[in-house]
Amino acid sequence: MAEDKEVLTVSDDVLAVCAINATLKTEGVAEMAGGITNIISKSIRGKELVAKGAKVTRNNDNIEIDLHVIVSYGCKIPQVAWDIQDNVKREIRSMTNMKLNAVNIHVEGVKKDDQK
């Protein structure tokens, strides 16, 4: 008798939220940047996206995440980008057991400590 195995599907929003949480825990990250998608959503729907600053792209088993961040003034941007990539890959792997093909970091700005 063949065993029926259930397949668990993880939504793009769940992947994005995991990636955002890992990104915001990374030293040198001030905040996520909204980007044009968030601006359009906010103006049309009147609310911000759940996954502000993150975009998940799937192509069969290939998963890529684009993250738009604002870094803290004085940090070493290349090191922050590497740390984000490592943290996001680790978080996604531990939460979903899925492997990411790419984590693309887009630095949208720099924020001083005294800026709001």
pLDDT of residue 40: 54
> Is the pTM above the cut of 0.85?
no
**Superfamily for 12-111?**
Cation efflux protein, cytoplasmic domain (3.30.70.1350)
pLDDT of residue 61: 81
pLDDT of residue 2: 57
Q: Cα separation of 53 and 20, whole Å?
A: 8
**What are the boundaries of each domain within the chain?**
12-111
pLDDT digit string, tens, across residues 48-79: 555 789 999 999 889 999 999 999 999 999 99
pLDDT digit string, tens, across residues 16-36: 999 999 999 999 999 999 755
Counting every residue written for the chain, the total comes to 116
Q: Cα separation of 99 and 113, whole Å?
A: 35
- Residues 106, 66: contact at Cβ < 8 Å? yes
